[in-house]
Amino acid sequence: MRLVDSHAHLDFPQFDADREVVIERAREAGLLAILNVGADLASSRAAVALADRHDFIYAAVGVHPHDAKTVTPAVLDQLRALARHPKVVAVGEIGLDYYRDLSPRPVQRRVFAQQLALAAELGLPVVVHSREAHDDVLAALRDWQGTGGVLHSYSAGPERLEEVLALGFHIGLSGPITFPKAHRLRTVAAAVALDRLLVETDCPYLTPVPHRGRRNEPAYVRYMVEAVAHARGTTVETVAQATTENAQRLFGLIGKRHGDTENTDAS
């Protein structure tokens, strides 16, 4: 079974002791690709370095809304420079977080708009974080002239699904889809068009059942695929194949291997 983890944070310190072991387990679990997503400038740099060392790891560069207050024009210039690396396939994670409010909301909105503009300029899709800020996130995306992306770890409920899909965006489903009480998320998983669905771990966070309470890792993305298949009443294979193709198409993963012009698609 070929799988893609469309959202991981392998550069985070939770993996410092055994990062290479975790990456090897992901490879053994059948992961065709992992998108490692930057959270600030240092993390974006680390994501690019990690992608440079591993053929099946790709990078997104960007500053999370928590750290929006650290973004200056110089930071945006450095993100732009990092994005020249051939394995940078998205700008993220960017967005708005009104739950923790770790940066002032007007600053979050400005920095989100600036990074959306950067993605449009670079012709890259975006990986968007939206927590209790769905009205403002969707308003910003409606105004955006870019090439699409994903609402990662989707939490806007079935009510906003039609609006998100109409914007051309994908839905990323993470560990909470496996939680016993996640009825609303399973409704989303059942309703979303199969060609707009991505699966992700958001590791080291949001660990799925049956590993809940411990550290998450890319190999666990299969639990999300199983939960989505169950919610949709279809096979695990169907969801695995669709989510893998969707990630490859959205992020242009085919033929983007570093130092490689052709993808040798050994399944």
Binding stretches for Ni ion (CB under 5 A)? 202
Q: Which is nearer to Ni ion, 150 or 232 (CB)?
A: 150
Q: Quick check: 141 and 109 in contact, CB under 8 A?
A: no
Phi-psi region of 202 (alpha: psi -120 to 50; beta: other; left: phi over 0): left
Angle of CA points 190, 195, 199, to nearest 5°: 70
Smallest distance, Ni ion to C-beta of residue 153, A: 7
Q: Measured from the CB of residue 37, what is the shortest distance to Ni ion in angstroms?
A: 6
Structure tokens at 130: 């939206």
Smallest gap from Cβ 4 to Ni ion, in A, equals 15
| Nearest distance, CB of residue 191 and Ni ion, angstroms | 23
Q: Is 5 helix (H, G, I), strand (E, B) or coil?
A: strand
CA 246 to chain centre: 12
Which one, of 120, 121, 117, 59, lies nearest residue 92 by Cα? 59
Instruction: Report the nearest approach of Ni ion to the CB of residue 233 (Å).
Output: 29
CA angle 228, 217, 11 (to 5 degrees): 130
Helices (H), 123-157: 134-143
Residue (7 or 232) nearer to Ni ion, CB: 7
* Residue number closest to Ni ion, CB atom: 202
67 vs 202, beta carbon nearer Ni ion: 202
Residue 57 beta carbon to Ni ion: minimum distance, rounded to whole angstroms: 15
**How far are the Cα atoms of 33, 108, 146, 215, 246 from residue 50, in angstroms, in the given order?**
13, 27, 27, 20, 23
Which residue, 206 or 232, has its beta carbon nearer to Ni ion? 206
Between 197 and 232, CB nearer to Ni ion: 197
Closer CB to Ni ion, 112 or 232, in the complex: 112
